[in-house]
Amino acid sequence: MRKSGVLLHITSLPTPGGIGTLGADAYAFVDFLKKAGMSVWQVLPIGPTGYGESPYQSHGTHAGNINLIDLNFLVRDGLMKAEDAKRFQAGSSTDFDTVKRLKREGLHLCFEQNFNRMEAMVDTFTQSHKNIDDFAFFMALKDYFGGRMWTCWPDVAIRMREEGAMAHYRRILRDEINFHRFTQYVFFTQWLCLKAYANKNGIQIFGDMPIYVAEDSADCWANPNIFQLDRDRRPLKVAGVPPDYFSEDGQLWGNPLYDWKALRRTGFEWWIDRLRTAGELYDMVRVDHFIGFANYYAIRAGAPNARVGKWEKAPGRRFFFVVKRRLPELNIIAEDLGVVSNRVKRLLRYCGFPGMKVLCFGFDSDATNPHFLGNIRENCVVYTGTHDNDTTLGWWEKASEKVRAFALENLPQCDSICDSMIEAALGSAANLCVLPMQDILHLGSEARMNTPGTVGGGNWMWRMQPGVLTDELAARLHEMNDFYERTPS
C-alpha cells in the first residue's frame, strides 16, 4: 500500500514555551496529517538529550525526554495548578537551557505534590519497564555528582557498580531516583496517549533509533560488558565514519563500540530489550546507520579525527535472525546511507527491510546514482531530504549549474523547486514517501535542522511558526496524495 507522511520532530512544533511538546499542538498536527491525506508522522529520537541537545546522544535508550512533557496537560489531568504551569513556561524563542531548567523545576513541584498518591502507579510502570530503574538511578547519581560524565565520578566504587556502593547511593538518593521514575511515568503516559490518538486517526508514528549509545549513558554504565571498554571502563575504540567527499577528516562520533561477541553469548538480549522498547513507542522504527550491523568503522579512542580507522565485521544475519524470531511484528526501516558495501547489500536482501532514497542526492552524478528518481523501487522510503541535509530550497540555491540542469531535465515542472521535488517523491515507485515539513513550507537554509559533524550553531532549534497548518495547505497536499494514490483507502 502506497503511503505518505511528514518528517517533523516534536521540538519543532509551535508550542508556546521554548520547544514543542506532547500537548495540544501535537494533536493538532495529527489532525493536519489526516486532513492532508497522509498516514505517517516521522519524528527524531525522543530520548533524553545529552551534549549539544542532539537527540542522537542520549542519556538512556529506554527513557523519554522529559522536556517534551506538556505542563498544560498536567493541569488538565489535575497534577498541576494553571498558575504553576504558566510560571514554569519558557519564552517563545528556542532556548534549551531555559526550557530544561524551568521544566525540571515544574516537574519537581509536580512530583512533590503527587508522588505519594501515585507511587503504586509508578511502581507498576517501572516493573513493566525494567530498564527505567537503571536510568533513574543513573540520572540521580549524575545530579549528585554535579552533572559530570559517569567515568569522572569521584567515587570509583559506584562507577564500577560495586554492591555496597549501589546500596549506599540507592538509600541516600531515594527521593531523586523516585523523581526520575515519576517523570518517566508521566512522559510515557503522555507519549502513549498521543500515539493512541494518532493510530485512532489512521496515523502511524515513525520513530528513529540511533545504532549507537552515548558514552555518558545509563546503558554504558549499567552494561559495561557489552561494550569495548578498558578495565577503567573507558572506550578502547569509538564509532565514526571515514573521510569522504563531504569531510576530509571523516566524522568522529565518539560513541563506544559494541562487543558483538559478548552480545552474541547473551542471545543479543540487550538489543532485543532495546528494540522491544522501540516497538512500544513507535509503529515503525528507522534504525539509524544500518550499515553498522554489517560492518562498522572503528577508531582508536583519543584519535584527533576519523582518518585512521578500520572497518570491522558486525554480526549481520546472525543478529537479525534472532530479531525476526523474537520480535516478528517489529516494523524496521533501514537507514542505509553511507558506504554501502556488498556485505551491507546482502544483509539488506536477507532482512527485506525497506531502505532509504534521498532525492537531493540523486542529481550530483548521472542516471546510475542509486538515489536518482528512475532507480527508486517499491521497497524503500523516499525523501526529498532528511534532518541531516539542507532544506530543498537551501540545497537548490547552493547547487551547481550542472546539478540544476540534470534535475530540471528529470523533475516535474512546477512553480518552485520544492513543489517539483515533492511531486517527484510522491509520484515515485516507493511505497512510502516522507516529506520534511520545511520543504512543504518552502523554507530555506535558515530552517535546516542539523549539520552533521557540528555542535551548536542552530542545530536542532528549528521551530514551525504558528498558523502555517492551514486548511488550504492540507487540501493541496490531499489533492497530490489522491493523484499519486497515497491517501488511505
Amino acid residing at 254 = G
| Maximum alpha-carbon separation in the chain | 70
Beta strand segments in 307-431, E = 309-313, 332-334, 355-358, 380-383
364 part of the active site: no
Q: In the structure grid, which three cell numbers stand for residue 49, read together?
A: 538529550
Q: Which of 31, 269, 283, 388 is catalytic?
A: 388
Residue 273 annotated to the active site: no
The one catalytic residue in 133, 335, 336, 439 is 335
- Please state, in angstroms and rounded to a whole number, the distance separating the CA atoms of residues 37 and 482: 7
What are the distances in angstroms from CA 247 to CA 303, 305, 306, 307, 421?
16, 11, 10, 10, 26
Q: Can 335 be counted among the known catalytic residues?
A: yes
Q: One of 31, 273, 280, 288 is an active-site residue; which one? A: 288
Give the three cell numbers for residue 189.
503516559
- CB contact set of 209 (below 8 Å; sequence gap of 6+): 45, 61, 274, 275, 278, 285, 286, 287, 288
Sign for the CA dihedral angle at 427, 428, 433, 434 comes to negative
The answer to whether 348 and 299 have CB atoms below 8 angstroms apart is no
Task: Give the Cα separation of 356 and 381 in Å (integer).
Answer: 5
Indicate the pairing of strand 204-209 with strand 284-287. Answer: parallel
Evaluate whether 324 touches 347 at the Cβ level (below 8 Å).
no
Catalytic residues: 288, 335, 388
